[in-house]
Amino acid sequence: MNASSKYTLKNGVEIPCIGYGTAPLTTTIGSEMPKGIDHALKCGFRLIDTAWAYKNEDFLGAAIKNSGLKREQLFVSSKCSNRFRGYDRALMCFKESLSLLGLEYLDLYLIHWPAKDGPDEEWQAINSSTWRAFETLYKDGYVRAIGVSNFWPRHLVPLMESAEIQPMVLQLEYHPGYTQPEPVRFAKEHGLIVEGWSPFGTGQLLNNETLKSIGEKYGKTPAQVILNWSIKNGVIPLPKSNNPERIAQNLNVFDFELSDKDMAVIDSMEYFGGSGWTPDTITW
């Protein structure tokens, strides 16, 4: 594997094995624009992950335009906001994202969060209706691949049962101490490629002594250890950083191989930090 390596989605589209996350760097939505995008593109990040809810698509679009890169060199991914669930509203959200980004198509479009499940089946109908909009966008050539974010198997099963076109990607929070084994296993069994957001546990893992001491053996930082570990586990990490040196560091993670023993240590780390968001707890 190297920084240009790709996985192939079930429809044949290729997706880079590492991406640049652009969620606002504080946890308050919309509070801070990522400033590192120019640098990320210069360094070689080609998968750029955004969302309508991040309120940065116009900013990213301008950076993409100024980068001088050809559109087909990039893999641009966005997400349909929770505020726009359902067929018509999802199409509206997509149209707005595409226009803000100044692009003619997206490489990947994801449902940001599932509708909260409950005793009646309305939430399933809502997710399916959103998904039908995604199928329309896919068939009309506006998106090269479609998928979901933060869905657990209990959300994925009904969506997949009612889908005409199956989801190709599952994005979810994934880092040492929070590896979400059930959704990841389910996704892999059903041929979905998995992307992991907040690989550093919203930064809380970066001072971890275990990760530090593993990193020392390879001459790498805890951040680089985590990214290498995620890639080795077949999960596309989406590190966020606004700092040029750290952005470069986050792509320089392919020149070492964690031993099976170190992988096992990281795989079994206890939870001690993360976003705290789940499909059951998010309020936005």
Residues with a known catalytic role: 54
Q: Of 9, 80, 223, 235, which one interacts with ligand A2P (CB under 6 A)?
A: 223
Least gap, CB of 25 to ligand A2P (angstroms): 5
CB-based contacts of 242, cutoff 8 Å, min separation 6: 25, 34, 35, 36
Residue among 245 and 280 whose Cβ is closer to ligand A2P? 245
Q: Does 198 bind ligand A2P (CB under 6 A)?
A: yes
Distance, CA of 34 to CA of 50 (rounded, Å): 10
Residue among 130 and 249 whose Cβ is closer to ligand A2P? 249
Residue among 124 and 198 whose Cβ is closer to ligand A2P? 198
Tokens of 106: 């997206």
Least gap, CB of 195 to ligand A2P (angstroms): 12
* Sites for ligand A2P among residues 241-280 (CB under 6 A): 241-243, 246, 249-250
Q: Judged by CB under 6 A, how many residues of this single chain contact ligand A2P?
A: 19
Distance, CA of 263 to CA of 140 (rounded, Å): 42
Report the phi/psi class of residue 17: left, alpha or beta, with left for phi > 0 and alpha for psi in -120 to 50: alpha
Residue 149 phi, psi dihedral angles, 5° rounding: -130, 140
Q: Does 53 bind ligand A2P (CB under 6 A)?
A: no
Least gap, CB of 190 to ligand A2P (angstroms): 26
Counting Cβ atoms within 10 Å, is residue 126 exposed (0-12), middle (13-18) or buried (19+)?
middle
Quick one: which of 201, 90, 77, 89 has its CA closest to 149?
77
Q: Does 228 bind ligand A2P (CB under 6 A)?
A: no
Q: Which residues bind ligand A2P (CB under 6 A)?
A: 21, 25, 198-203, 206, 221, 223, 239-243, 246, 249-250
